[in-house]
Amino acid sequence: MKREDFIKGKIYTHEQYMELSIMEMMESKAEHTDKADPKVGAVLVDRNGAFFDKSHRGELRIGDHGEFTVLERKHPGEDLSGFTLYTTLEPCVKRNFPKKGCYKRCINARIGKVFIGHPDPDPTVASNGYKLLKKAGIEVEFYDKKYEEEIAKANEQFFKEATKRAEEDKTKEIQSAIDPIENELIEFQLQDLSEEAQRTMIDKMG
C-alpha cells in the first residue's frame, strides 16, 4: 500500500501500521548540516484500532519531531487518551527548554500503548524513553525484527554518530571518577602516612 491509500477511520493490520510508519520515516526532513538527524515516522491509531493520522520528522516545521507533530501540531487539545502510537524510533527524553521530550508528550496525551521501531542509541535517550513510558503506565512493545533492521539501515549515519557520542560520554564519566584520585596521588606526601605505614610501603617498594 501507498501512504496515500490509508483512510482515516478504517482498520488496518498491525503490520500495515508498522510499514506505514516506515514509509513516513523515509519522508523525514533533516534539520542540521553538520550532523545526521534521525529519520522518524509516526502513526496514530484510535481506540478502536482504526487509522487516525500519521507524520514524520520536519513535516510541518523543520526540527519538529514526528511524535510531537502528530500529537500536538496536528491534533492540539484533542482527546487522544487510549490511542496507540507507532513510532520508528524510541521517543526522545531531553530537549532544549522550552521543548519537552516526546516521551512526555505521549504521557500528556494519555496514549495507551506505544510500539517502538528501534531503540535510540543517543546518550540522551539510551532506553530511558522506553523506561519512562513504562513507568507512566503506558504499554510498550517493539516492532518485528525485520522492520527494526530496516529502520537501522535508514538511520545508519545517525546511529553511528549517536553511538560515538555515547562512547565519549562514558569515557568522560570514567575520567571524572578517576581525576579526584589522581589529584590526591599528585599531592600525596610520604609523611602523610603513619610511621608504620611508611615502613610497610618502603619495604614493599624495596
Instruction: List the strands of the sheet with 51-56, edge to edge.
Output: 51-56, 41-45, 84-87, 113-116, 139-142
CA angle (136, 142, 146) in 5-degree steps: 170
Using CA atoms in the order 101, 104, 106, 111, what is the torsion angle rounded to 10 degrees? 170
Rg over alpha carbons for the chain, rounded to the nearest Å, is: 24
The overall longest dimension of the chain from CA atoms, in Å, is: 85
Q: How far apart are CA 147 and CA 138, in angstroms?
A: 22
Catalytic residue selected from 59, 67, 72, 150: 67
8 Å CB contact between 54 and 22: no
Q: Is 67 a catalytic residue?
A: yes
Dihedral sign, CA of 43, 46, 51, 52?
negative
CB burial class (10 A; 0-12, 13-18, 19+) of residue 95? middle
User: Which residues are known to be catalytic?
Assistant: 67
